[in-house]
Amino acid sequence: MRVLGIETSCDETGIAIYDTEKGLLAHQLYSQVKLHADYGGVVPELASRDHVRKTLPLITAALEQAQLTPQQLDGVAYTVGPGLVGALLVGSCIGRSLAFGWDLPAVGVHHMEGHLLAPMLEEHQPEFPFVALLVSGGHTQLVQVRGIGDYQLLGESVDDAAGEAFDKTAKLMGLDYPGGPRLAALASKGRSGQYKFPRPMTDRPGLDFSFSGLKTFAANTLASSPSDQQTLADIARAFEDAVVDTLVIKCKRALQHTGYQRLVVAGGVSANQHLREQLAELLGKVNGQVYYPRTEFCTDNGAMIALAGALRLQAGERESLSIKTYPRWPMTDLSPMVDYQ
């Protein structure tokens, strides 16, 4: 089954074509980073307008890359939530309209399920069951995964997501947008142990997260410290260490709680090298395995949507002609796919 995937939930226009027998056939991505840089964050109206401009040309490019015509496709998948409502509407309207015009089945995809399944784009794929850490600018969640669609939420952030805390702290430090990767780069030049940040909510039971306090702690530390480059790097290192340690501690608890030895990590923050090193050490101690998508598929992309859509289309799911989007949508509301348990 060949499926066209469309991702427009925030500030990246991602288009891909996935074949359930041959794998990924085409992948096109346009990032709006430059568009939003002057504003220090995503402007929803500008994001929606840019998706309108870019989606159809990228679909054309993906078809050319795969050397396919629309008549050779078997379905269309598109992100329907969660995300920015205007951006979601662009992809949903285009995707559903193309499916209707091409006489193809369509399916709406949950953005976070796309991230969760992204490691299945790789040759070395995780087997069910496993624990998933979904960690990005909009979400930080620990999920028990028994099969596709069979999800139990174990814990989530009660305020800022980890990626959001990275971006906000980077802005406090005067780093350009997008701040998270720039803060991580600066942290690589910092000295460990020069500053000590708290590890929030690790001194009590449970698997929930809280990162907003780290941003406040960083602001107070910056205000009372010299502003030279080495000091900024040291503070960035202390902040990153605190976030990574917190994520690792909670992952360890989740693995102990479930008894699983497999961990999937996805979302933009999963590209953080310090996090990967610490999780590799954690899983090595318990003879476990950790899985990631390749770096280009850690952030939002069409490949994960095409894959998730293909699996759900294969299971018989179909979208009605009505256009629906879900800016807020718990992943636990999804229906299980029995064939993949």
Taking only the tens place, the pLDDT of each residue in 169-190 is: 999 999 998 899 999 999 999 9
Same domain, 220 and 153: yes
Same domain, 205 and 261: yes
Q: Which domain holds residue 222?
A: 128-292
167 is known to lie in a ligand binding site: yes
Q: Is 23 a member of any domain? A: yes
115 is known to lie in a ligand binding site: yes
For residue range 261-307, list pLDDT tens digits in order.
999 999 999 999 999 999 999 999 989 999 999 999 999 999 999 99
Same domain, 302 and 287: no
Same domain, 278 and 321: no
Instruction: Give the global pTM.
Output: 0.95
For residue range 96-137, list pLDDT tens digits in order.
999 999 999 999 999 999 999 999 999 999 999 999 999 999
Q: What are phi and psi of 205, to 5 degrees?
A: -65, 160
In the chain, DSSP assigns E strands to: 2-7, 12-19, 23-31, 75-81, 106-110, 130-135, 140-147, 150-156, 262-266, 289-291
Q: What is the structure's pLDDT at 84? A: 97
333 is known to lie in a ligand binding site: no
51 is known to lie in a ligand binding site: no
321 Cβ neighbours under 8 A, 6+ residues apart: 96, 100
CATH number at residue 326: 3.30.420.40
Q: Is 123 a member of any domain? A: no
Rounded to whole angstroms, the Cα distance separating 242 from 274 reads 11
Same domain, 55 and 193: no
Q: What is the structure's pLDDT at 161? A: 96
Same domain, 185 and 308: no
Going by pLDDT thresholds of 50, 70 and 90, the confidence category of residue 339 is low
The total number of structural domains that make up the chain: 2
Nearest to 191 by CA among 226, 223, 236: 236
Rounded to whole angstroms, the Cα distance separating 7 from 1 reads 19
pLDDT reading at 341 higher than 80: no
Same domain, 197 and 278: yes
Q: Is 241 a member of any domain? A: yes
Rounded to whole angstroms, the Cα distance separating 98 from 14 reads 16
Both structure tokens of 137: 């600018």
206 is known to lie in a ligand binding site: no
Same domain, 304 and 270: no
Q: Is 122 a member of any domain? A: no
137 is known to lie in a ligand binding site: yes
Nearest to 244 by CA among 133, 94, 138, 130: 133
Same domain, 304 and 259: no
138 is known to lie in a ligand binding site: yes
The arithmetic mean of pLDDT across residues 27-34, rounded, is 97
Q: Is 340 a member of any domain? A: no
Q: Is 174 a member of any domain? A: yes
Q: What are phi and psi of 152, to 5 degrees?
A: -125, 120
Q: Is 73 a member of any domain? A: yes
136 is known to lie in a ligand binding site: yes
Rounded to whole angstroms, the Cα distance separating 266 from 298 reads 6
Q: What is the structure's pLDDT at 338? A: 65
Q: Is 341 a member of any domain? A: no
Going by pLDDT thresholds of 50, 70 and 90, the confidence category of residue 337 is confident
Same domain, 136 and 272: yes
Rounded to whole angstroms, the Cα distance separating 341 from 336 reads 8
Same domain, 98 and 168: no
Same domain, 51 and 158: no
